[in-house]
Amino acid sequence: MLSDPSHFIAQGFGSGLSPIMPGTVGTLFGWFSFIVLSQRWPAFFTESHWALVIALGFALGVVVCERTGRALGAPDHGSMVWDEIIAMWLVLLFIMPASFSTQCWAFFWFRVFDMVKPPPIAYFDQHIKGGFGVMWDDIIAAFYTLLLFTIWRLI
């Protein structure tokens, strides 16, 4: 992980090295870091700044996940969790402010969609390779989570 800055980022600053459920640990890291950054530097981490950070984080993720996947010999290696971090930040950006309970549900549903990969997530996961593919299927899982929350709020 420390041999290349790309690996450090792609592996979620070490959170992706968890021996048990690295994607879930990476998502938890994303949740925790969003809350800490938002509370510690509220003047910088405004909604518009978060949107920019997420967009730049997605673009960075395409590069670092491509590079790390090649180095590890697996295009979507399980230790690469930058995609979960960026996707969780996206979910939180759109649901905040939210109660702890609502954040827990957002975490839960994002993980469900990311692991189960309902269509078209599975299609993208299987057919779009490289760094963009690694990042894109999690963005779709985030979209499903936000769609579910939108429907829930309308009901």
C-alpha 14/C-alpha 97 separation (Å) is 28
In the chain, which residue ranges form alpha helices assigned H by DSSP? 5-10, 22-40, 47-72, 82-95, 100-116, 121-127, 130-154
The whole-number pLDDT of residue 86 equals 98
Q: What is the pLDDT of residue 1?
A: 61
Please write down the long-range contacts of 95-104, taking CB distance under 8 Å and 24 or more positions apart.
95/146, 95/149, 96/38, 103/31
Q: What does the pLDDT profile of the chain (155 residues) look like in tens digits?
A: 678 999 999 999 999 999 999 999 999 999 999 999 999 999 999 999 999 999 999 999 999 999 999 999 998 899 999 999 999 999 999 999 999 999 999 999 999 999 999 999 999 989 998 999 999 999 999 999 999 999 999 99
Which among 33, 35, 40 has a CA at the least distance from the CA of 12?
A: 33
